[in-house]
């Protein structure tokens, strides 16, 4: 599942976009695969595609004896081509993600991170050019505020259930979750729709009416 993913993910980043993937999932009956609109990239130029590496964090109000144990284990187990999916249950007190986790993840071959919560060190993350999507920033450490309790388990991120190995696609418009079982079909159908959209655009520019080109190509 992972060894030959890079060409696929590179193609998706170069040729597809979140809206056409969402439309394709709709057509296949998967109508609730787009994360909440407040999950946005630090840089609008970033586009990500990769396998979900899930991490579950909860708020705490004490200093655990080993506060980073599961967090470290999760990051150290990242495989090339994965995207970290950090679920904080929409915490407002926990800055789960920062520069050092981004650096470690990037070194292990991760393609980005999506954090349903707050992050810090945004300037350093931008300098790393490691794509991170989050709901906001806050310069607090997770120690004594949040605790990673599990990883590689299903999590609810951005109101979408994400399973380990699902394919994540994100750009400036949002983040879409593609169930692992339908990745190939989604990419094939989305690519076909992009082609039809390109033809539609060209004919609209040439003066054809929207009704004419919609009846011909069936996209809008």
CA atoms in the 13 A half-sphere facing the CB of 170: 32
pLDDT in tens, 202-217: 888 888 888 988 888 7
141 is in an annotated binding site: no
101 is in an annotated binding site: yes
Residue 204 lies in a domain: no
16 is in an annotated binding site: no
Residue 215 lies in a domain: no
Residue 61 lies in a domain: yes
28 is in an annotated binding site: no
**Could you tell me the residue range of the domain that residue 172 belongs to?**
5-179
Q: Which of 15, 5, 2, 8 is nearest to 171 (CA)?
A: 15
Q: Which of 168, 174, 142, 176 is nearest to 57 (CA)?
A: 142
Q: Which of 88, 63, 82 is nearest to 148 (CA)?
A: 88
CATH of the domain at 41: 3.50.30.40
Residue 188 lies in a domain: no
* pTM (two decimals): 0.92
Q: Specify the number of domains making up the chain.
A: 1
Residue 220 lies in a domain: no
Residue 133 lies in a domain: yes
pLDDT in tens, 143-200: 999 999 999 999 999 999 999 999 999 999 999 999 999 999 999 999 999 988 888 8
């Amino acid at each position: 599942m992972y060894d030959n993913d890079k060409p696929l993910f590179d193609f998706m980043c170069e040729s597809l976009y979140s809206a056409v993937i969402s439309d394709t999932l709709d057509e296949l009956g998967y109508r609730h695969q787009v994360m909440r609109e407040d999950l946005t990239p630090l840089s609008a130029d970033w586009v990500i595609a990769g396998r979900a590496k899930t991490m579950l964090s909860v708020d705490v109000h004490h200093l655990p004896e080993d506060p980073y144990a599961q967090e470290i284990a999760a990051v150290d187990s990242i495989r090339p081509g994965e995207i970290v999916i950090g679920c904080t249950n929409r915490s407002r007190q926990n800055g789960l993600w920062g520069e050092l986790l981004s650096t470690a993840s990037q070194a292990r071959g991760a393609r980005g991170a999506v954090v349903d919560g707050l992050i810090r060190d945004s300037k350093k993350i931008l300098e790393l050019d490691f794509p991170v999507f989050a709901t906001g920033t806050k310069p607090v450490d997770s120690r004594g505020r949040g605790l990673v309790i599990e990883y590689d388990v299903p999590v609810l991120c951005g109101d979408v259930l994400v399973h380990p190995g699902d394919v994540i696609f994100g750009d400036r418009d949002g983040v879409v979750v593609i169930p692992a079982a339908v990745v190939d079909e989604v990419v094939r159908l989305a690519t076909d729709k992009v082609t039809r959209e390109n033809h539609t655009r060209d004919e609209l520019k040439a003066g054809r009416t929207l009704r004419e080109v919609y009846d011909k190509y069936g996209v809008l």
